[in-house]
Amino acid sequence: MTIVILGAGDIGAAVARQVAAADIAARVVMVDDAGTVAQGKALDIAQAAPVDRYATSLAGTDDVTILTGAGVVVLADRVGAGEWDGEAGLALLSRITGLNQAAPIVCAGPLQSTLIDRGVHELGVSRTRLFGTAPEALRGAALSLVALEAETSPADISLMVVGRAPHEIIVPWEATSIGGRRAIDVLAPPVITRLEDRLPRTWPPGATTLGSAAARVLGSMITRAPRAHVLQVAVARGPALPGRSAMLPARMCPQGILRVEPPPLSSRDRVRLETALAR
């Protein structure tokens, strides 16, 4: 499989590095108007292959038509121009769907939630095909914070986040477990309040964290791993209402999102989520 990353900025390079290290794709190609920079970063990453023991082939180019052969397309950030978003991002999405009608389109940046909304609701891209992975990086930060408070390993914690970052982040504490016990039985209420106050300050995640999150999601897609990830997903609010996007847990398949699986929410958290989507 070939994974094409549109943008060779810090996020794009981090995604390429993490995907290569995970050895989940035969080929990774970074595409950027600064083609020589994309080529240079691809070469730098490829030189680590003997040390990190991966066989992924890497390349850089300025030729966007390479999208036609992509198994997955990742929207990242351009050299010197930031993330693909706004009208430029929407125009690029339209071109992607013209060149490749099947590949999942993964938004790796933290500022692309509106682009996901518009791609689904204006261009008609399926919400199972177009989604973002930055919320998975936020979940990783939440796991680390909870692990510090509970004095345990993140591997012992089952936790999801929903809502809209950065100010409407909802952790369903009653559905969160720590070492097999309910989080609300392990963490005192003041600790939970402190964690909820700290989470917005972890947004936006850094490039390396975003790259790792994207690689985890891509790995689950390609290998059909049964784990759930937190994604930025377009959500319709009603037949006559415009769509929004929200952070929601989902399971993956090679075509993108297999199904969205929101965790059980308390009445309070359900109201908070509905309020976040209505704004």
DSSP 264: P
CB 66 within 8 A of CB 4: yes
What is the predicted pLDDT for the residue at 102?
A: 95
Surface-to-core class of residue 120, CB atoms within 10 Å of its CB (0-12 exposed, 13-18 middle, 19+ buried): buried
At residue 55, the 3 state secondary structure works out as: coil
**Interacting residues of 102 by C-beta distance below 8 A, sequence separation 6+:** 255
What is the predicted pLDDT for the residue at 115?
A: 96
* 151's tokens: 């004095």
DSSP 156: G
Q: Could you tell me which of 250, 264, 227, 222 has the C-alpha nearest to residue 27?
A: 222
pLDDT, averaged per 10 consecutive residues of the chain (279 residues), comes to 97 96 94 97 91 89 95 97 95 96 97 94 95 98 96 96 94 95 96 96 96 97 94 75 80 96 89 83
* Residue found under tokens 């850089």: 60
Which domains occur in the chain, in start order?
2-103 (3.40.50.720), 134-279 (3.90.110.10)
What is the predicted pLDDT for the residue at 48?
A: 84
Q: In one letter, which amino acid is 231?
A: L
What is the predicted pLDDT for the residue at 76?
A: 97
CA–CA separation, 176 vs 193, rounded Å?
15
The pTM is what? 0.94
